[in-house]
Amino acid sequence: MGTGWAVTSTMIGGIAVCGGIGYGIDRLAGTDSIFTVVGILLGAAAAIYLVYLKWGKDDGEHRA
C-alpha cells in the first residue's frame, strides 16, 4: 500500500508543481492559461517518467 501512495503523490506533486509554475508564468505574462496547460502536461510526463524510473524498471530479476 505504501508504494501506491508514493506513486500517487509523485503524480499529483509533479502535476501541481509544474502546473503552478505555468500558472505563475501566465499571471506574469498576462496570457490565457497557455503555460498552465503546458506545465500540467510537462508535469504529468515528468511524473510518469519518475514513477517508471523508481518502480517500473525491471532489475533483471524475473518474478515468479
φ, ψ of residue 57 in degrees (nearest 5): -75, 140
Residue 62 lies inside a defined structural domain of this protein? no
Segments forming the whole domain that contains residue 35:
6-54
Q: Block means of pLDDT (10 residues each) for the chain, length 64 residues?
A: 91 96 96 95 96 82 54
Confidence (pLDDT) at 40? 97
CA distances for 38 relative to 24, 27, 52, angstroms: 12, 14, 21
Whole-model pTM: value is: 0.80
- Inter-residue contact 39 to 22 (CB < 8 Å): yes
User: Euclidean distance between the first and final Cα of the chain, in Å?
Assistant: 20
Q: Is residue 26 part of a domain?
A: yes
R_g of the chain computed on alpha carbons: 15
Domains identified in the chain, total number: 1
User: Residue 50 domain-assigned?
Assistant: yes
Domain membership flag for residue 60: no
